[in-house]
Amino acid sequence: MIKKVASVGLPVDEVLEIRKNRILPERHGGSGKRISIVTGIHGDELEGQYVCFELQRRLEGHRECLEGIVDIYPAVNPLGIDSITRGIPAFDLDMNRLFPGNIDGSMTEYVAARIIEDLAGSDCVLDIHASNIYLTEIPQIRINELHQDILVPLAEAANVDFIWVHGASTVLESTLAYSLNNIGTPTLVVEMGVGMRITQEYGNQLVDGIFHLMKKLGIWSGEAAPVRKPIISRNPEDVCYLNAGVSGLFVPVAEHGARLGRDALIGRIVDPLCGKVLDEVRAPEDGMLFTIREYPIVVEGSLMGRLLKKEVCGYE
């Protein structure tokens, strides 16, 4: 059943609506639990679109196994999705810096507050992101260390490859996930794939994870495939950042997800005008390349990849 979460009139003959689909169990009773799938806060991150569709397709096949409520919010920033804009167009605002919002505030603050109101009380919320248009990520869940006790066990059921517990930061207090976790609604931030694209393999992997998570929460009584055991990192030292030392065209050599030895070649930064290699990007340690740059132009400082140290990954 399609429900309106927020609605605002735009200046010229258009109404902005944030909608969700509420999927209820066929029979009364059930566990009364609720899982909410949210995506599209960043309008150019589309991996979650496929997840919303695929999750419903699979649910439709076995509705009799649904014991709780599934709420699907595929587009909390519809204007951004429509205009290939990360933030909220016209305001140049990152929507994920507006929460918890203000019900009596501006249009954007009002919409943020309505979204929080609607999601509050869910037994689990998944906020699905797709990195950005520059970087590709392996399926992972990012958790603020303040909320790790509640969230890590949930994240372990979600079939991702990596759980990244990061330090608290004041700036992040205005995210959807922080605001919800702060009021006791467990919220997992999924990052996977890349902006402006869908990676079906990752989407399918996460949908498997959502079924597993629903089973754990008592929302699903049907089949759920076993999940992979994620690598968990809690120490900032576990991750090496590869930032461009020069501006140029980044031409990758290593595959995304590759396990690299120290000094292995990851890519080159070249100058197409002079036909010269400006820099070679090499692995600073043994590790797994869990992030790699997708957008080829780099400026000094641009992130080209991230490496998770071998001892954390636990492979031989």
Partner 1 sequence: MNKTTLYTLKSLYRDDFRVTGYEFGSGKKSVCIVGSSRGNEVQQLYCCSQLIRKFRQLEAEGRIAAGHKILVLPSINPCSMNIQKRFWPTDNTDINRMFPGYCLGETTQRIADGVFREISEYQFGIQFTSFYMPGDFVPHVRLMDEGFSCPETARQFGLPYVVIRRVRPYDTATLNYNWQVWDTQAFSLYTTSTARIDPNSAGQAVLAVMNFLSRQDIIKYTVPGGLRSRVVNDADLISIRTAKSGIFVPMVKAGDTVEAGQPLANILEPYEGDILETLYAPLPMTAFFVHNEPLTYADTAVIKLIES
CB of 127 to Zn ion, least distance (A): 9
Tokens of residue 291, six digits: 């992030």
CA–CA separation, 43 and 52 (whole Å): 15
Member of 20, 42, 147, 293 binding Zn ion (CB under 5 A): 42
Tokens of residue 111, six digits: 């919409």
CB of 143 to Zn ion, least distance (A): 15
Residues in 44-63 at the binding interface with Zn ion, rule: CB under 5 A: 45
User: Is the CB of residue 26 less than 8 Å from the CB of residue 63?
Assistant: yes
Query: Which CB atom, from 191 or from 279, has the smaller least distance to Zn ion?
Result: 191
Binding of residue 168 to partner 1 (CB under 8 A): no
Binding of residue 29 to partner 1 (CB under 8 A): no
CA–CA separation, 1 and 71 (whole Å): 10
Strands 162-166 and 231-233 turn out to be parallel
**Residue 137: closest CA among 52, 40, 228, 239:** 239
Residues in 176-195 at the binding interface with partner 1, rule: CB under 8 A: none
Binding of residue 13 to partner 1 (CB under 8 A): yes
Q: What is the largest CA-CA distance in the chain?
A: 70
Member of 19, 21, 30, 93 binding partner 1 (CB under 8 A): 93
Residues in 101-120 at the binding interface with partner 1, rule: CB under 8 A: 105-107, 110
CB of 223 to partner 1, least distance (A): 42
Cα atoms found within 13 Å of the Cα of residue 279, Cβ hemisphere only: 17
Residues in 105-164 at the binding interface with Zn ion, rule: CB under 5 A: 129
Burial of 29 per CB tally in 10 Å (0-12, 13-18, 19+) = exposed
CB of 156 to Zn ion, least distance (A): 22
Query: Which CB atom, from 265 or from 297, has the smaller least distance to partner 1?
Result: 297
User: Is the CB of residue 101 less than 8 Å from the CB of residue 115?
Assistant: yes
Member of 226, 235, 237, 273 binding partner 1 (CB under 8 A): 273
253 binds, among partner 1, Zn ion, none (CB under 5 to 8 A by kind): none
**Residue 159: closest CA among 138, 187, 137:** 138
**Residue 25: closest CA among 70, 57, 56:** 70
Member of 34, 42, 86, 306 binding partner 1 (CB under 8 A): 86
Member of 232, 234, 303, 309 binding partner 1 (CB under 8 A): 303
129 binds, among partner 1, Zn ion, none (CB under 5 to 8 A by kind): Zn ion
Binding of residue 297 to partner 1 (CB under 8 A): yes
Residues 6+ apart with CB under 8 A from 26: 63, 64, 66
* Contacting positions for Zn ion (CB under 5 A): 42, 45, 129
Q: Applying CB under 8 A, which residues contact partner 1?
A: 8-13, 86-87, 91-93, 97, 105-107, 110, 132, 134, 170-174, 241, 243, 246-249, 271, 273, 297, 299-303
